[in-house]
Chains A and B, each alone.
Chain A
Amino acid sequence: MTLIADYIGRSARDNVLSAIAKAQDNEQYHALLSLTKERALERADAVDRGDITGKLAGVPFVVKDNFLAFGAPTTAASKMLEHFNAPLQSTAVEKLEAEGAICIGKANLDAFAHGGSTENSAYGPTKNAFDQTRVAGGSSGGSAVVTALDIVPFALGSDTGGSIRLPASFNGVVGVKPTYGTVSRYGVVAMASSTDVIGVFTTNVADAEQVMDIIAGTDPKDMTTLANFFIPKRTIESGKKIGLVKEFMTDDVDPEVRRRTLEYAQRLRDNGHIVEEVTLPIAAHTLAMYYIIVPAEVSSNLARYDGIRYGYRADGVMTLAELYGRTRDEGFVTENKRRIMIGSYVLSSGYFDAYYLQAQKARTLLITEFNTLFKDYDVLLGPVAPMPAFKLGENTSDPIKMYLADIMTVPASLAGLPAMSIPAGANSAGLPIGVQLIGQKRSDADLLALARSLEEM
């Protein structure tokens, strides 16, 4: 595996050309929806001339295709935005470019980031980096796979309920979902405004720290960004109290996943930390909360795709209602429509209190339970997903089964907490397994430092 440092000081043009060549060699994984070759080479030449400098000068990267970025359309893996060329770039991409990094392509995802396997992409699924018959995880499947295949040293993703952590665990890479508000959401196609976060995939923790350090920070264009707090930590003191969440270790969780998690717990102990079993009773209800709150926000955030101003518009319509109906029917995939319908239902008059408001109250309870645990524990530990990557098509006919893969990732999302997926070995079939660390709000740097200290062991 190459590190970010390996790219620095080399010819940027060579970096870009080799990354693109590698991407083309791995087309069968369908991890990328587009290459931004022309623009990437222009920027590479500017780096090589010394016109562009910075901490990541000449380092190639990939963005999930729900980030507005130049050089190729921003499709969100949907037919709705198939030909949408962004007139501006997301803050995260701008910040990376300001440090000289070069975007070489845009990664596949579940359309509008709705899904946990990247099978909901309107352009076909991304295949797992370790087994092409299996899913990449999602929704940031493409970003995870390009990192795992070593096409680029890092890739950006977004995480609404596990969309970075799940594919990171399925592909054996580091995936960071920061505290809500750490990185600006400006210029990223919105899914659920109250849980969307921008994060990163890398092959190692130190690289994640470096990228996070660049993309984190207050953005005047995103009122929900927090005041700058992310400062990478060189060391982490021993004796951290770590809670292994009981509800994440039930019999429903694959035994090999549990075993790798317990091994990781033991490594933490070996490193001088204290690991104890803790309980988060409300965890059992978080998926229910999530699949009310998030679809509600999805139904709202996707209302703008109406065929009037940009994006897909159905042909041959006669009335306004038909324009809306057919544009949205044809431009969205089934999962988009499912979530819009659930969301519209739970927000509709007469159901708002029973569903949406109730879910928000439960969310407050979840936050309270987390806060109680964090009085005694610094970090919480558990698996990322109940199982390693499943087979392509295995869950597509059963949305509930598909949603269950998110059961351990949605709690941190609903509470706005930092969480990350760390490679923790593989199962007997060689499929990667990830463990998840969850921290208190704004403890992102501690979480990363802890993970790095174990990686170096």
Chain B
Amino acid sequence: MITDEILDKYIMTIGIECHVQLSTLTKLFSGADNDARDKSPNSVVSPIDFGLPGMLPVLNRQAVNLAIKAGKALGSEIARVSRFDRKHYFYPDLPKGYQTTQMYQPIIGAGLVNVPREDGSSFDVRIHHAHMEEDAGKLTHFGDYSLVDLNRAGTPLIEIVSEPDIHSASDAKGFATELYRLMTYAGVTNGDLYHGNMRFDVNVSVAPKGATELGLRAEVKNLNSFRSVERAADFEFRRQVERLEKGERIVQETRGWIEAKQKTISQRSKEDAQDYRYMPDADIPPIILTTEEIDEIQATLPRLPAFYRQEWKVMELDSTVVNALLSTKSQSELVQSVLETGGVSAARRTALWILMVLPRDIDQVVRATGNDLSISEESFIELAAMVDGNELSSTAAKEIFFEMQRSNSSPRVIAEEKNLLQVSDEGTIVAFVDEVLSDPASTKAIEDIKNGDDKVIGFLVGQVMKKSRGTANPKLAQKLIRERIV
């Protein structure tokens, strides 16, 4: 039994490799449609992707531009000269018998990512480099045969390789999540995790605390959610500690994550590792970039999470709220826009309303289709103003918020239709107050208040709100009740 006490004697070290599919119109080296979602198998495959004899790659300039953007989002230097190489292995989903990648001179150099934690603190992860490469196709296995779909073959990827700077499963999840935010905010990927737009390989090694050398690592490949990154890292930590505690050695190997069983299993040991026979790809001239070209692309880089974190400090939101809001780019843009045009209070209220409908688990948000809020910035600002101006109770505002999502009407129209506008007219409220106070059910409460139990007044205000169907201004109702009892 591995107790927390035992775990505490060890330190886990994690490095992450992340494949990001770039959202180009066409593939990395061909003119085939790069959007393979919902396409029938082998329907977006050009002769180049198919590996026909005599076909030559033509580098997609848009992919290079997106890679530069991604690199800038990672805080990396962009190489003035980068090249493509061939990585050889035989597999039916690899049409040319090699993957075109960047082994020796990648386009994206060393960088740094600052990752926020839920508690408001943050940590740094260094980026070793990131390189461009093409994706492989997909095999589907049936009993005694397998089918090949090359729709994905040739999709442009960047592979981001981190330094082993992470030491907990939750930080691994945090880093993966921040990479997701950076790549989607930079606009380089569609970020559809369900369709494999981003995939994570987690390298985990364990050593006794204070040890000067890292332990041998196991690599868990192809994780496609933040939660599985965390779970797999945690599982590996416990598995490796258990082995070390038993005096066993850690084997350097590749492992797979079995989602249904929430465990990793061994797939391939280092001894079976392939010799990829890397060599320069003579069919593709080097990518040569000028400072001007790089600057020009950097100038088009959209706002990144760090920008919003800084801007939103005035809203004094809890860090978990900020992180949750940052889970999708469209939400952040909305809140920022409300902040810029409607002010702090409106933005703060908007943030909290959004959070009400936001699933707590970001994986779910990302997986859900159509997670974008359909409500316009103007409606949010108007709704917030109505609350601030005592026209709506916060309860009524929530109700309107949900209705706005459904109907797309303006908050005032909804409020009027549903009769939710707060009444601040004394005469109208007095009528409700008198009705409540004359109700025999209120007699006990009135006595208690007279005897000094002031808290009970809330009950009477509640009754007034009920009678007025939530439209009475509660502060005014309380004042009127107090005036009549005392």
Query: Chain A interface (Cβ within 8 Å of chain B)?
Result: 66-68, 74, 76, 81, 84, 86-88, 90, 185-190, 192-194, 220-224, 296-297, 299-300, 302-306, 308-310, 320, 324, 344, 347-349, 352, 356
**Docked complex Cα distance between A185 and B56 (Å):** 8
> Which of A67, A74, A81, A300 has the most chain B CB atoms inside 10 A of its CB?
A300
Chain B nearest CB, measured from A143 CB (Å)? 17
Task: Known contacts A193-B283, A224-B285, A309-B50; decide if A186 and B98 are in contact (CB<8 Å).
Answer: no
Chain B nearest CB, measured from A102 CB (Å)? 21
Which residue from A88, A194, A306 sits with its C-beta under 8 Å from B47? A88
Chain A nearest CB from B452 CB (Å) reads 86
By a CB distance below 8 angstroms, the chain A residues around B148 are: 308-309
Q: A66-B54, A186-B55, A187-B54 are in contact. List 4 more A-B contacts (CB 8 A).
A: A76-B53, A190-B283, A306-B97, A348-B275
Q: In B259-310, which residues have CB < 8 Å from any A CB?
A: 275, 277-279, 281-285
Provide the bound-state CA to CA distance between A297 and B86, in Å.
Answer: 10
Interface residues of B in 82-96 (CB under 8 A from A): 86, 88, 90, 92, 95-96
Interface contact B277-A299, CB-CB below 8 Å: yes
Chain B 131-145 per-residue mask, 1 if CB under 8 angstroms from chain A, else 0:
000000000000000
A160 nearest CB across to chain B (Å): 12
Among A90, A192, A224, point to the contact of B54 (Cβ < 8 A): A90
Residues of A within 8 A of B88 (CB): 299-300, 303, 347
Partner of B56, one of A192, A223, A305, A347: A223
User: Does the CB pair B47–A348 fall under 8 Å?
Assistant: no
CA of A68 to CA of B281, assembled, Å: 22
Contact A347 B58 (CB under 8 A): no
C-alpha spacing A194/B88, complex, angstroms: 18
> Is B164's beta carbon under 8 Å from chain A?
no
A-side contacts of B256, CB under 8 Å: none
State the B residues within 8 Å of A (CB).
Answer: 47, 50-59, 86, 88, 90, 92, 95-98, 148, 275, 277-279, 281-285
| Contact A224-B283, Cβ < 8 Å, known A303-B97, A304-B95, A304-B97 | yes
| Chain B residues positioned under 8 Å from A193 (CB to CB) | 281-283
- Determine how close the nearest CB of chain B comes to the CB of A331; give it in whole angstroms: 13
User: A309's contact among B95, B279, B283, by CB below 8 Å, is which?
Assistant: B95
A-B contact count (CB 8 A): 99
Among A87, A300, A306, A348, the residue within 8 A (CB) of B52 is: A87
CB < 8 Å: which of A88, A223, A320, A352 contacts B283?
Answer: A223
Q: Are A347 and B279 in contact (CB under 8 A)?
A: yes
Ordered nearest first, which 4 A-B pairs have the shortest CB separation?
A: A303-B97, A194-B282, A193-B282, A347-B277
Nearest CB on B from A209, distance (A): 26
Closest to B273 in A: A349
User: Within the assembled complex, what's the spacing in Å between the Cα atoms of A23 and B292?
Assistant: 59
- Docked Cα-Cα span, A93 to B286, in Å, equals 28
Q: How far is the CB of A110 from chain B (nearest CB, A)?
A: 16
Chain A's closest residue to B59 (CB) is: A223
User: Which of the listed residues B57, B86, B95, B282 has the most CB atoms from chain A within 10 Å of its own CB?
Assistant: B282
Complex Cα spacing A192 to B281, Å: 11
How many angstroms from the CA of A296 to the CA of B277 in the assembled complex? 9
With both chains docked as a complex, state the minimum distance between the C-beta of A50 and any C-beta of chain B, in angstroms. Answer: 32
Q: Which residues of B contact A81 (CB under 8 A)?
A: 53
Chain B residue at smallest Cβ distance from A360: B280
CB < 8 Å neighbour of B58 from A221, A305, A310: A221
Q: How far is the CB of B345 from chain A (nearest CB, A)?
A: 57
Q: Which residues of A contact B53 (CB under 8 A)?
A: 68, 74, 76, 81, 84, 86, 189-190, 304
Contact B56 A300 (CB under 8 A): no
Least CB distance, B195 to chain A, in whole angstroms: 24
Complex CA–CA separation, A190 to B98 (angstroms): 14
- Residues on the A chain within 8 Å of B282, using CB: 192-194, 224, 297
Please tell me if the beta carbons of A300 and B95 are within 8 angstroms of each other in the complex.
no
Known: A189-B54, A190-B53. A303 touches B96 (CB 8 A): yes
Q: Can you report 24 A-B residue pairs in the complex whose CB atoms are below 8 A from each other?
A: A68-B53, A86-B52, A86-B54, A87-B47, A190-B283, A221-B56, A223-B56, A223-B283, A223-B284, A224-B56, A224-B285, A303-B98, A308-B148, A309-B50, A309-B51, A309-B95, A320-B92, A347-B88, A347-B277, A347-B279, A349-B275, A352-B277, A352-B278, A352-B279
